Amino acid sequence: MKLFALLVLALPAIVFAAPPKGIDVSHWQGSINWGSVRANGVEFVYIKATESTNFKDPKFSANYVGATNAGLIRGAYHFARPGASSGAAQANYFASNGGGWSGDGITLPGALDLEAGCSGLSHSAMTAWIRDFSNTYHARTGRYPVIYTTTSWWKQCTGNASGFQNNNPLWIARWSSSVGELPAGYAYHTFWQYADKGPNPGDQDNFNGDSAGLKRLARGS
């Protein structure tokens, strides 16, 4: 028994690093002290850039520059309004107004925020709209967009469509202690929005991996 105890004590401790912390923000958070955010351990941020084809977030530029200067990996997101215009039109608007991508190692692929109801679209029409946005964004930037959604929205508005997992990283929103069920086809999530408030401004997120994996996603490698 003593020998067993000594062997256990001699084994190296296995330390599991916490997943990289992130946030997502818009003009609703007002002015943000990005230096403090970085000092709090936040490694990445998604920043609202656009909505539909007629709204540019007034805090986008300040947030993007501030996050960059503080050393965060950052990306932009587009708040979808599928009932207002085509997926292609909104993808082009997004890519032209802050939602682009470059292989500089600190820019995440743009994200498509799907949450504001089904806009009167059928399951097939909504699925086609999302694919139109995704393909257009890819043609503009060389990257497929991250899809932000909840599993309940995905089921209600697309009929739990599958197939997007092959190209579009999943950013799942579930304010709970676990990610729960994922949309059809997805075996894992890439980002998880786990709370709408916390120690840092905006919604609280994490990356499903380590810091090296987050950087690979930004580089597109």
Supply the residues annotated as catalytic: 24, 113, 115
Q: How far apart are CA 106 and CA 123, in angstroms?
A: 35
Pairing of strands 191-195, 170-173: parallel
Query: Please, is 163 exposed, middle or buried when counting C-beta atoms within 10 Å of its C-beta (0-12, 13-18, 19+)?
Result: exposed
Q: How far apart are CA 148 and CA 184, in angstroms?
A: 14
Query: Please, is 85 exposed, middle or buried when counting C-beta atoms within 10 Å of its C-beta (0-12, 13-18, 19+)?
Result: middle
Pairing of strands 111-113, 146-149: parallel
Output phi, psi for 94, to 5 deg. -60, -50
Dihedral of CA atoms 68, 201, 203, 104 in degrees, nearest 10, equals 0
Query: Please, is 42 exposed, middle or buried when counting C-beta atoms within 10 Å of its C-beta (0-12, 13-18, 19+)?
Result: buried
Q: How far apart are CA 177 and CA 139, in angstroms?
A: 37
Pairing of strands 111-113, 170-173: unpaired
